[in-house]
Structure 1
Amino acid sequence: MTIIFEIIIQTLLAFFAILFYTRILGKQQIGELSFHDYVNGITFGSIAATMTTDFNQRTWQYLLGLTLFAALTFLMQMIVVRSRRARKVIQGEPIVLIHNGKILENNMKKSRFNLQDLTAQLRQKDIFNLKEVEYAILESNGDLSVMPKPEHKSVTVQDMGLRVSPESIPTEIITDGKLLLPNLKQHGLSKTWIKKQLKAYEIANIEDVFMAAYDPVKEELYIDLYEDNLGKNKVDVSEEYNTKDQK
């Protein structure tokens, strides 16, 4: 029982220590990682995993290691922010891989980026023809930024000279069958109002609603029920579904 108790305590310490340090270091830890953030994340996980099961070392020694790595990561972030030269060395620089529809092979070799990776990332941006690309730039975080040629750019509302209504972020007012009164009152709505709206959709109980969101600009209510009742209109793109369909 003593060993089990120690495992529980050390696991809790490791979990909350990583959670605390990651929160301090910012959202970069869970977004597009730089090289030093990537190394730090792996090390955090390794130290924490060892900390939960290794009883040969004292817990405070592992916590000290986690603290030092968090401090080093924070120091790197400060250096990168303040020094352009250090930023170039630590994070690298963007590299142009395509210019005017032509692949720059030397830059591809420098960045160790192969043709398959390039075409795959272009397809993810809805570009299937290299001739449509004006610039493709490999960012320091590994993402590919693409500028299509003018004749292949999507037409925007501004290009067409149209006026559009302002957009807003819908507010959730029902989640998991529970009414969120603070969000409801935020827009001057009441419980009576939402019940009336649900009645118009022939919904008797709030508990039947998985999610409902209110758009204050359009004054529209989006409702999704637990039971969607799609019937024959259900679409499934999984391999198992397609295989059954062919039999």
Structure 2
Amino acid sequence: MQAWLQVLFSSISVFFLLLLLTRIMGKRNIVRMTPFRFVSYIVIAVIAALISLNLIQNLAFGFISLGVWVLFPIALEYLSLKSKWLHDLINGKETVLIKHGKILEDNLLQTRLTGEQLLRELRSKNAFNLADVEFAVMEDTGDINVFMKSNKKPVSATDLGIKVAPLAEPQTVVLDGTILNEPLFSLGFNTEWLGIQLETRGVSLDNVFIGQVDSSGDLYLDLFDDSVQLPQPKVKEMLYANFEKIQADLTTFALETQNKAAKKMYSKHAGKLEQLMEKLKPYLLR
């Protein structure tokens, strides 16, 4: 067999073999990969390249070496799930860099980070002022996580005592001018509903690049023609405004009428409507 055919055959074989092996080794974010796993991937890639170029004369030796570098990391990862000591030995331990707002210089030296590098990492986490940082730790992947001081953390709805409606993942129902039926039906809508929404806004389906429906049932559209300005849906806001108007009218009627029975009725219903509005506010106003 000619040399180029051998290289072609071995390269195709190794390609599909590596595809299978990487699936077996599991999903990993290369940015958050531990040094040990990164080195394992590099060695596997080098061995695969040598096999595909027929630089390893005995293919059995090549596949044995490849198997060792694939199976051993998998076995060690499984064992590290059972043993914290083995996990720390293989992947290393997290290192505290800042504690109670104070930089731990010894730990900084241990991780071989300079002060400028630490400040750069903090800035990448939106911590531009060192005085705002309460705690910072370097994970075994090399990533630095930052915990801000309590008076410097962003205010949440819970901090303000505001109730908000739970949110679910938005579903893409139109992609590149094509209706995606499965996510549309999963939301309880159909193509007729989508057609009415598009007709109401004066948009044709073939001009829609992406259409998404959020957990509240609002449809967001991104068009191919960016010059077209679409009005944002205000259905929930208008509904809440109508509730406010009705509640205000009932309160006014209760104040103006001289009939005691009517005054009591208006006041009672105004109070009930106010309670209903308080419950619906997180869902209608966000």
Which deviates further from its counterpart, 158-167 or 33-42? 33-42
Q: 1:164 — aligned with what? A: 164
Write the deviation string for residues 33-89 of structure 1: whole angstroms up to 9, x where unpaired: 122211111112222333333365365654443332110110110121111211222
TM-score by length of 2: 0.72
Unmatched tracts of structure 1, length 5 or more:
232-247
Q: How do residues 135-214 of structure 1 correspond to structure 2 at under 5 angstroms?
A: 135-204=135-204, 206-214=205-213
Using the alignment, how far apart are the partners of 1:227 and 1:58 within structure 2?
60
Identity %: 30
How far 1:5 moved relative to its partner?
4.2
Q: How do residues 12-23 of structure 1 correspond to structure 2 at under 5 angstroms?
A: 12-23=12-23
How far 1:154 moved relative to its partner?
1.4
Q: How do residues 94-109 of structure 1 correspond to structure 2 at under 5 angstroms?
A: 94-109=94-109
Using the alignment, how far apart are the partners of 2:29 and 2:44 within structure 1?
11
Q: How do residues 24-43 of structure 1 correspond to structure 2 at under 5 angstroms?
A: 24-28=24-28, 30=30, 32-43=32-43
TM-score by length of 1: 0.82
How far 1:209 moved relative to its partner?
2.2
Unmatched tracts of structure 2, length 5 or more:
230-286
The one-letter code of the counterpart of 1:168 is A
Write the deviation string for residues 13-34 of structure 1: whole angstroms up to 9, x where unpaired: 2332222222222223646212
| Runs ≥4 residues deviating over 6 A | none
Which deviates further from its counterpart, 58-67 or 41-50? 58-67
Q: 1:73 — aligned with what? A: 73
Which deviates further from its counterpart, 147-156 or 11-20? 11-20
Q: 1:239 — aligned with what? A: none
The structure with the largest alpha-carbon Rg is: 2
How far 1:157 moved relative to its partner?
1.1
Q: 2:258 — aligned with what? A: none
The one-letter code of the counterpart of 1:214 is V
The number of aligned residues is: 229
Which deviates further from its counterpart, 187-196 or 51-60? 51-60
Using the alignment, how far apart are the partners of 2:80 and 2:56 within structure 1?
37
Q: 2:224 — aligned with what? A: 226
Using the alignment, how far apart are the partners of 1:96 and 1:27 within structure 2?
27
Cα RMSD after superposing both structures: 2.4
